[in-house]
Structure formats: C-alpha cells, structure tokens
Structure 1
Amino acid sequence: MVLIDKIALPDFPLLLAPMEDVSDPPFRAVCKDNGADLMYTEFISSEGLIRDAIKSRQKLDIFDYERPVGIQIFGGDEDSLALAAKIVDVTNPDLLDINFGCPVKKVACRGAGAGVLKDIDLMVRLTTAVVKSTSLPVTVKTRLGWDDDSKNIEEVAERLQDCGIKALAIHGRTRSQMYKGEADWTLIGKVKNNPRINIPIFGNGDIDSPQKAVDYKNRYGVDGVMIGRAAIGYPWIFREIKHFVNTGELMPPPTLGERIAVCKKHLIKSVEWKGPKVGIFEMRRHYANYLRGLPNIKDFRARLVTLMLQDEIIEVLDEIHRYYHGFEIEHSPIELINYHENCPL
C-alpha cells in the first residue's frame, strides 16, 4: 500500500497525469474504468479561479466515481495561490496538487509552472502558502530543473517535503527540453533513494509500455508511475501495466469491440460535459490511437474528424466495427503525441 497522507493507494499505483485539454472528466472516466488509481484534473489557473473565469470553474467538476481524484492549480503569486486553494477546498477533492512543471511558454515565462524552477525560494513560499490555506493533502508535480545547468530536483524535493507536501511527482526532463529527447529517470531514482525523503515519489515521462513501467519500477524504486501522453486514446495502458506487474505476462490488446465501446463512451461523455460543438471537436485528438492497428483506416478516420453530429460519428464507429469484424489487432508501439504543440495556452 502507498499512502498519500490518509489516501490509501495499492502497491505501485498508476496515476493519470494532468494534461491541459485532455485530462477532463470524460477522459478520466475511461481511464478509471481501465485501472487508473489516482487522477488529476487539467491544471487550473489560480488567477482564473479568483476571477471566476468560466473555464477555470468548470475544471473543478469532479465525480464520486473518479475518487481518489486531485485538483491541480498553478500560479506564481502567493496570495493568489492561497486563495485558489481555499476555493478548491470547498469543492472537496481528495487532494490538491501544485503544478511546477508545465513548460508552455505562456505559463513558464510568466513565473508559474516550470518557470518557478528558476527560483526555489519562491517555490517554497508558494508551496507553504498553499499548505497553510487548505485542509487537503497537498502534492506537487515538477521537473528536474529549468535546464541542464540547473537540475535542482534533489534540493527541491527535500525543501518541499519540509513545507508539508504529502507526495511528489517528477517528470524526467528539464523545462528547456519540453518533450524532446528521452526522459532521464536517474535523478528521480536519487530522490526516491534519498534517506531523508519519506513521502511517495512518483516518476513521470515516456512510460509507454508495461515492460518499461516494470523496468523503471525495479531500476529506480519509485512508489508508482504517472502516465500522460501514452494514455491518450489508449486508456488500456493502465490495465496492461497492472497485469504485467502481477503476472509478468502481457495482456492481449483490447479487441475491436472494446475499442469502439470505449471510444463511444468517451465521445458521449465529452458531449454531455462540454456541449456538442466543443465535445466533438476535442474528441478528435483521440481517434488515431483508439483505432491504431487497423489497416486502411485513414478514410474512416478522416470522416470522424470532420463530422459535427454525435449520431453521425457513432454511425461511423459502428460501420468501422462491422467492416473490421473478426480482425485481430496486434500490439503496436504507442505514439507519444506532443499535445503541447496545440495547447491553447
């Protein structure tokens, strides 16, 4: 068992990463169905919450079937973060997470997200302000440092633990790397194996297969892993990792019927929560992975990303199911989509 304050998670829990315009309630629902142990909302601007911005407020929506679930906030001002924490407190999530890892320019270059990595003293002040302002367990997600010359995560981990955070998730890249190159888990392992660290340490970055998850578990000793891009359009990654951890064997890939059923559920929940226009538009990023491995799928996929009516999209999904009936989809490498390229921030 892994404990985040009083939140009990199974051994080697699998966390769904907070991803802007991805980790919304519809997506979280299908990830929960397939084994995610702890999930986070999309990150929410502290300033947006204080201004009562509609989109920021909507991101506070959580549902009982998601629990345990955390709400993630970001900002670079102590008073704003503290007030945002009080607002989040009222919505009653299981925990509150601070984003010190977002590399997007409009966040990081305004002294929030990964931008705070350039000033550890500020990071400590911001974290302390949040911890003092909420009754919720506070966790942090961050990166190794700002760039190769300032990989300060070992100092950051100790100081944030001293502030009172209950867990730390570390992405194995610097801010300057964005999502380029391979994630370096060496420093994540050093943080986990630091005798002074006694909170759970979760590793994040490039986990795209059960084999890699178990390899990193054994090699670096992390308490669990956080999965982001690999789950986009492939929520089965969670159940496949769990099966491999427990048995040492790979699960068969999801059947065509499972893929279509989950894709439909995701679409329907997306439309219910966001409305037909936005719900249908934002589903388009998921179809490629839901249907990966089907030969000559391009024409079907082109229809899915142009239709604007839910019933018509479901008709195409049913048509795909009939057309490929009996086809067995083999495991293929998961493509780690760089969704930040289209991030509205």
Structure 2
Amino acid sequence: MQFAGFTLRNNLFVAPMAGVTDRPFRQLCKKLGAGVAVSEMVTSNSLLYGSEKTQRRANHEGEVDPISVQIAGADPAMMAEAARHNADRGAQIIDINMGCPAKKVCNVMAGSALMQDEALVARILNAVVKAVPHTPVTLKFRTGWNQDNRNAPVIARIAEDCGIQAIAIHGRTRADQYRGDAEYDTIAHVKTLVRIPVIANGDITTPQKARQVLEYTGADGIMIGRAAQGRPWIFREIEHFLATGEVLPPPLVSEINQVCREHLTDLYAFYGDERGVKIARKHISWYTKGLVGSAAFRRTMNQIPDIPAQLAAVDEFFGRLAEADLRLSYETEPAQELAA
C-alpha cells in the first residue's frame, strides 16, 4: 500500500492507544504483520517535553519505518510546535488526535471534543501542515460528537482541504465511548467524499471481519486497537486471509509463550525493572485471557514483585498447557452481515 509517501507491506494499522502502543508493542505488531503502528498520543504542551513520560512516548530508537507519532492538544500554535518538535526527533508521519473520548482529554477541548468546533479543527490542521511541510500529516477522528451530530463528512472535507494526507475514522461518536457496536455507514459515506486514503477503525476482531469492513466501506485500510492486545499475531492472520482467503490456525500455546516472553523482556529494558514489572502485568493478563486457569493465574501473578519470578510464573503457566501442544482458541461471535 502507498501511504503518506511510504510503501507499506500491507494496509493494516495499529491504532494509537494510551498506555499500550509504546515502542515495544509497536515493534512487536510490526514484526507480526502490521504495516504502520501509531504511537501513544504525545502532549502538545512544550512544558512537558522534558518529562520522562513524554520522552519515553517519543522514543523510536530501533523502530521499523515508518515512524508515526500522534500529537494531542487544542491550541493551533502549540500543536504546530509539537509537530515540529517531533519531526525534528525522528517522526516520519505526524498524526493528529481528534478521536480520544477520554474525559480528561475532552475536558480540555482536545481529542474528540474538537469535533464540536469545526473552525478550530481547520485552524489546527492548517497550522500543523504548514509547520512540517516535509512531513506528512494524518488525522484520526470519530463519526461525530454524539448521535445527533455525526459530522465526520464535514471534518473529512476540511482535512483534505487543509492538506491532510490520510484519515482514520473510528465508527463511534465521542458520546458512544466504546459502547455498542461500531457503525461503518459513516465511514463508507466519507470514502465517497474524499480522494485521500481512508482507514476504517472499530470492532475489527477477526480476519473475516477485516475483509467484510474493507468491502463494505471501500476503505483503503483498517486500523486495529483493542483486538491486538495480547494477540499481536492478529495482523499476520488478517494479512494472510486477505491475500489468500485461507484462515491461519491459531498459534500454539508454546508460540504464545515465546511471543509473550520476548515482549516482557523488551518492556523490562524499556521501562526499567520496577516499572517494567508493573507494565508487564496487563500484557500478561491479555496474553493469558481465555486459557484454562488464567483467572487464578492472573490473581497470583499480580502479586509477583520482580522480573525473575514473573518470568518463571509465565513459563510455568504456559508450560503446563504446552505439554499438550494446545492451540489458543478465541470465543468470538459469528461475524454478522453489515446492514446495507
């Protein structure tokens, strides 16, 4: 896929997720089949550029191209400066966050709250595009602020007019948060209105659903967030299915153990021992979800204080299941036909 000046291996994107899409997770998803992985959102407040949290989120050392950094804020000048700051430090794509529904983000009129003010949206997009003329800028947003105000088509036109090179749309409004089912009619409509690439996001959990959403919306690519937590191999599964029509078998438990262990090792190195152990707990929880005995294991694992004991517990848990050479099976609802 040609995207923002880059030739990608496919049209599969990792959605930016705060507290999840750090460098270790992005690298892992790219290794397992994702074409692009967008960073956690980085603040546009220059006073926080030097903070440990912001510097870690902007750490791309050794990351496979393209490096896409998402910035968040509500002030055009600050957003422009944030774009320049990150482009100077290795960002090859600047992504603008207008999709986050979190209260602490929306309460400062950032994230999806910006969709209420279309004039401000235009000022921000213009400022950022002009600030980094040699770096492509993309935009992620939702279908609207609420069910009565689905203005994604208007935002999409503004984005194209301002020089945004691609857009990603989550199939829910800000008011929906993550409740209910994502709807794809709005995304399909937007696709008919703009010439820039449109990426569909929301509730894409299987290879079959990925193909269904691509066909229904006409989107140029798909973006996956929560479905990749503890299941980063979903990208290779979708890539294989879209290319061949064949469904790959679920990974062996022994492979899950290996992927999980490598991920944990990278987390320890990235965050340091104490912080790494704490960050690792949520990923271990996701990797073990759905496996026999996982609930009891997670309760015990969350009390383990150090790296050697954490790794030993993970190996022991997966080792018991791997003796039978088991494959992980996910309980998923049958893919429903999308309403015409």
- Into which bin does the TM-score normalised by the smaller protein fall? over 0.9
- For 2:135, the equivalent position in structure 1 comes to 136
Kept in 2: contact 1:205–1:227 (CA 8 A): yes
Indicate the SS of the match to 1:23.
Answer: coil
Shift of 1:77: 0.6
Instruction: Select the residue among 208, 224, 228 that pairs with 1:227.
Output: 224
Cα separation, partners in 2 of 1:188 and 1:102, compared to 1, 3 Å: same
In structure 2, how many angstroms separate the alpha carbons of the residues matched to 1:38 and 1:258?
A: 23
In structure 2, how many angstroms separate the alpha carbons of the residues matched to 1:190 and 1:10?
A: 27
Indicate the SS of the match to 1:144.
Answer: strand
In structure 2, how many angstroms separate the alpha carbons of the residues matched to 1:97 and 1:82?
A: 12
RMSD of the TM alignment (CA)?
Answer: 1.6
In structure 1, how many angstroms separate the alpha carbons of the residues matched to 2:170 and 2:109?
A: 19
1:41 aligns with 2:19: no
Shift of 1:193: 2.0
Shift of 1:49: 5.9
Kept in 2: contact 1:49–1:57 (CA 8 A): no
- For 2:178, the equivalent position in structure 1 comes to 179
- For 1:246, the equivalent position in structure 2 comes to 243
Q: Which moved more, 1:86-95 or 1:294-303?
A: 294-303
Indicate the SS of the match to 1:148.
Answer: coil
Q: Which moved more, 1:320-329 or 1:253-262?
A: 320-329
Indicate the SS of the match to 2:298.
Answer: helix
Shift of 1:82: 1.1
- For 2:75, the equivalent position in structure 1 comes to 77
In structure 2, how many angstroms separate the alpha carbons of the residues matched to 1:214 and 1:48?
A: 41
Instruction: Select the residue among 92, 101, 104 that pairs with 2:102.
Output: 104
Shift of 1:27: 1.1
Aligned length: 331
Shift of 1:294: 2.5
Indicate the SS of the match to 1:206.
Answer: coil
Kept in 1: contact 2:254–2:325 (CA 8 A): no
1:182 maps to amino acid = D
Shift of 1:250: 1.2
In structure 2, how many angstroms separate the alpha carbons of the residues matched to 1:8 and 1:32?
A: 14
Written as runs of structure 1 = structure 2, the 5 A alignment for 1:252-263 is 252-263=249-260
Shift of 1:285: 1.6
Cα separation, partners in 2 of 1:23 and 1:48, compared to 1, 3 Å: farther
In structure 2, how many angstroms separate the alpha carbons of the residues matched to 1:210 and 1:299?
A: 30
- For 1:192, the equivalent position in structure 2 comes to 191
Gaps of 5+ in 1: 336-345
In structure 2, how many angstroms separate the alpha carbons of the residues matched to 1:129 and 1:297?
A: 49
Q: Which moved more, 1:319-328 or 1:67-76?
A: 319-328
1:331 aligns with 2:329: yes
Q: Which moved more, 1:146-155 or 1:62-71?
A: 62-71
Kept in 1: contact 2:291–2:328 (CA 8 A): no
1:332 maps to amino acid = Y
| TM-score normalised according to structure 1 size | 0.92
Indicate the SS of the match to 2:40.
Answer: coil
Kept in 2: contact 1:15–1:227 (CA 8 A): yes
- For 1:153, the equivalent position in structure 2 comes to 152
Kept in 2: contact 1:16–1:40 (CA 8 A): yes
Could you list the per-position Cα deviations for residues 70-127 of structure 1 after superposition, in whole angstroms to 9, with x for gaps in the alignment?
0000100111111111111111222000001111111112111111000011001001
Kept in 1: contact 2:80–2:128 (CA 8 A): yes
- For 2:123, the equivalent position in structure 1 comes to 125
Shift of 1:288: 3.0
2:152 maps to amino acid = I
Shift of 1:322: 2.7
1:19 aligns with 2:17: yes
Kept in 2: contact 1:50–1:84 (CA 8 A): no
In structure 2, how many angstroms separate the alpha carbons of the residues matched to 1:150 and 1:49?
A: 34
Indicate the SS of the match to 1:42.
Answer: strand
The structure showing larger relative contact order (alpha-carbon pairs under 8 Å, at least 6 residues apart) is: 1
Kept in 2: contact 1:294–1:329 (CA 8 A): no
Shift of 1:280: 1.4
Indicate the SS of the match to 2:3.
Answer: strand
Could you list the per-position Cα deviations for residues 37-65 of structure 1 after superposition, in whole angstroms to 9, with x for gaps in the alignment?
00111001101565533211221101344
1:274 aligns with 2:251: no
In structure 2, how many angstroms separate the alpha carbons of the residues matched to 1:280 and 1:161?
A: 43
Instruction: Select the residue among 290, 293, 297 that pairs with 1:296.
Output: 293
Could you list the per-position Cα deviations for residues 236-258 of structure 1 after superposition, in whole angstroms to 9, with x for gaps in the alignment?
11011111111212111111111
Indicate the SS of the match to 2:222.
Answer: strand
- For 1:237, the equivalent position in structure 2 comes to 234
Q: Which moved more, 1:312-321 or 1:153-162?
A: 312-321
Gaps of 5+ in 2: 334-340
Shift of 1:330: 4.3
Shift of 1:16: 0.3
1:319 aligns with 2:316: yes
Could you list the per-position Cα deviations for residues 216-255 of structure 1 after superposition, in whole angstroms to 9, with x for gaps in the alignment?
1111111000000000111011011111111212111111
| TM-score normalised according to structure 2 size | 0.93
In structure 2, how many angstroms separate the alpha carbons of the residues matched to 1:307 and 1:48?
A: 37
Kept in 1: contact 2:252–2:328 (CA 8 A): no
- For 2:338, the equivalent position in structure 1 comes to none
Indicate the SS of the match to 1:43.
Answer: strand
Q: Which moved more, 1:281-290 or 1:170-179?
A: 281-290
Kept in 2: contact 1:142–1:169 (CA 8 A): yes
2:44 maps to amino acid = S
- For 2:282, the equivalent position in structure 1 comes to 285
Q: Which moved more, 1:135-144 or 1:303-312?
A: 303-312
Shift of 1:7: 1.1
